[in-house]
């Protein structure tokens, strides 16, 4: 059996490194974690991949078998904290003096400083708390329907089932948020690139949000012939839904606008509201985990904007916010027109 096959049998990221500190082979998990093809990692110097943690660690210092903590330098410039277990290779195919290095991501950070936040235990605790309310509602309504079905009117049954359906959607969203957190923090997020027509997605999102907020008045402003992009349609819809719902919760339901612009090699989609705006002191915190302002109609886990920024950055774009107190806020994200070197059709 060759080294490459043996490495790909592992469910963790693994590298084979020679005595000079160069990568001889990498498995699929390691390639996905770095964000580069496995064959592209061959020949890379170890000290170009692993960044020392702390002032006492010298660049290029090789981790020992004790599980040293360093940061893995990814292809997109991110530094992902990892635990490294380096062991001498006993396989002849790996060559004399080589080592197999197992990399295990540490879930302590994100894609940027704004995404850093509480530990995984705190994430689970918060989301578990958010799950209790819809699950209690579902349990209550289904129990009532089962025990009093013959005594309830059709209108009452419909109202209860609509609430169960709404709460089930809320549970699904919270579970998906948990999965997104894990994938973003470990670098394992998988995007399904397709041709995406942003005005169509924007229209669909506004219609769906209006079902929950009947008083919503949100206009669309996309020029005719607005270019398509290569992106993951589900993730783009998730980001846009988070932004429109965020404006509905914290700003005014009137006078909202979703607009699109083209600039150079990227497009931008902006959600503008006419609410009270975000105070300067709060603005730096809105993309952190669990942050929810006291104003407006806050609900949910406080993870939507944090996840949205991660999803946009995974596409090679950027999400930011601008606000003027008393006039409203604008959340704007960009997407490249030529994702991963491919041209939209």
Give the 3-state secondary structure of residue 52. Answer: coil
Query: 91 CB contacts (<8 Å, ≥6 apart)?
Result: 3, 6
Across the chain, mean pLDDT equals 78
Alpha helix stretches (DSSP H) within 35-119: 38-41, 46-49
Q: Provide the terminal-to-terminal Cα distance of the chain, rounded to the nearest Å.
A: 43
Alpha-carbon gap, residue 86 to 104, rounded angstroms: 12
Q: Would you say 324 and 175 are in contact if contact means Cβ atoms under 8 Å apart?
A: no
- Residue range 253-262, pLDDT digits in tens: 999 999 999 9
Residue 29: count other Cβ atoms within 10 Å of its Cβ: 19
- Residue range 126-170, pLDDT digits in tens: 566 567 777 888 888 899 999 999 999 999 999 899 888 888 887
Residue 337: count other Cβ atoms within 10 Å of its Cβ: 17
Is 3-106 assigned to CATH 3.40.190.10?
A: no
Same CATH topology for 3-106 and 194-341: the answer is: no
Closest to 198 in 3D by CA, of 214, 221, 176: 221
Block residue for tokens 């020992």: 64
Query: 148 CB contacts (<8 Å, ≥6 apart)?
Result: none
Is pLDDT larger for residue 69 or for residue 334?
Answer: 334
CATH (residue range 115-186): 1.10.287.130
Is pLDDT larger for residue 78 or for residue 332?
Answer: 332
Segments making up each domain of the chain, as ranges: 3-106, 115-186, 194-341
Block residue for tokens 């920024």: 309
Q: How much is the average pLDDT of 312-337?
A: 92
Residue count (the chain): 345
Would you state the pLDDT for residue 60?
43
Please state which of the ranges 26-35, 67-76, 205-214, 221-230 shows the lowest mean pLDDT: 67-76
Q: Is the pLDDT of residue 8 over 50?
A: yes
Confidence of residue 48 (pLDDT cuts 50, 70, 90): confident
Question: CA angle 282-283-284, nearest 5°?
Answer: 95
Q: Which string of b and e fits 277-292 if b means at least 16 CB within 10 Å?
A: bbeeeeeeebbbbeeb
**Cα 174–chain centre separation:** 13
Give 333's strand partners.
Answer: 269, 319
Closest to 93 in 3D by CA, of 22, 29, 5, 27: 5
Q: How many helices (H) and strands (E) does the chain have?
A: 9, 13
- Per-residue DSSP letter, 287: T
Q: Is the pLDDT of residue 343 over 60?
A: no
Give 159's strand partners.
Answer: none
Q: Which CATH class is domain 194-341?
A: alpha beta
Block residue for tokens 């850093």: 116
Q: Is the pLDDT of residue 287 over 70?
A: yes
Token digits of residue 299 = 């609900």
Would you state the pLDDT for residue 286?
84
Would you state the pLDDT for residue 146?
92
């Amino acid at each position: 059996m060759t080294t490459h096959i043996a490495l790909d049998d592992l469910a963790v990221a693994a590298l084979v490194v020679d005595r000079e500190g160069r990568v001889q082979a990498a498995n699929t998990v390691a390639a996905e974690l770095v964000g580069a093809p496995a064959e592209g990692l061959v020949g890379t110097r170890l000290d170009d991949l692993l960044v020392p943690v702390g002032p006492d660690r010298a660049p290029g210092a090789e981790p020992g078998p004790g599980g040293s903590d360093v940061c893995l330098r990814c292809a997109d410039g991110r530094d992902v904290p990892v635990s490294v277990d380096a062991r001498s290779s006993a396989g002849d195919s790996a060559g004399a003096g080589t080592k197999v290095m197992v990399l295990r991501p540490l879930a302590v950070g994100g894609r940027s400083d704004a995404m850093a936040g509480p530990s995984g235990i705190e994430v689970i605790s918060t989301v578990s708390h958010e799950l209790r309310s819809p699950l209690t509602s579902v349990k209550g309504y289904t129990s009532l329907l089962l025990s009093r079905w013959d005594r309830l009117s059709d209108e009452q049954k419909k109202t209860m089932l609509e609430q169960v359906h709404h709460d089930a959607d809320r549970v699904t969203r919270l579970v998906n948020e948990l999965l997104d957190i894990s994938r973003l923090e470990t670098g394992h997020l998988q995007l399904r690139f397709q041709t995406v027509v942003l005005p169509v997605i924007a229209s669909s999102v506004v219609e769906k949000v209006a079902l929950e907020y009947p008083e919503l008045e949100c206009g669309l402003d996309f020029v005719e012939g607005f270019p398509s992009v290569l992106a993951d349609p589900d993730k783009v819809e998730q980001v846009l839904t988070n932004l429109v719902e965020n404006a509905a919760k914290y700003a005014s339901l009137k006078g909202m606008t979703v607009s699109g612009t083209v600039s150079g090699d990227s497009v931008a989609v902006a959600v503008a509201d006419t609410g009270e705006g975000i105070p300067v002191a709060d603005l730096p915190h809105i993309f952190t985990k669990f942050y929810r302002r006291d104003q407006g109609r806050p609900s949910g886990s406080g993870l939507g904007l944090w996840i949205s920024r991660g999803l946009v950055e995974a596409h090679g774009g950027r999400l930011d916010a601008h606000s003027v107190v008393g006039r409203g806020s604008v959340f704007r994200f960009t997407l490249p027109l030529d994702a991963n070197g491919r041209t939209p059709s």
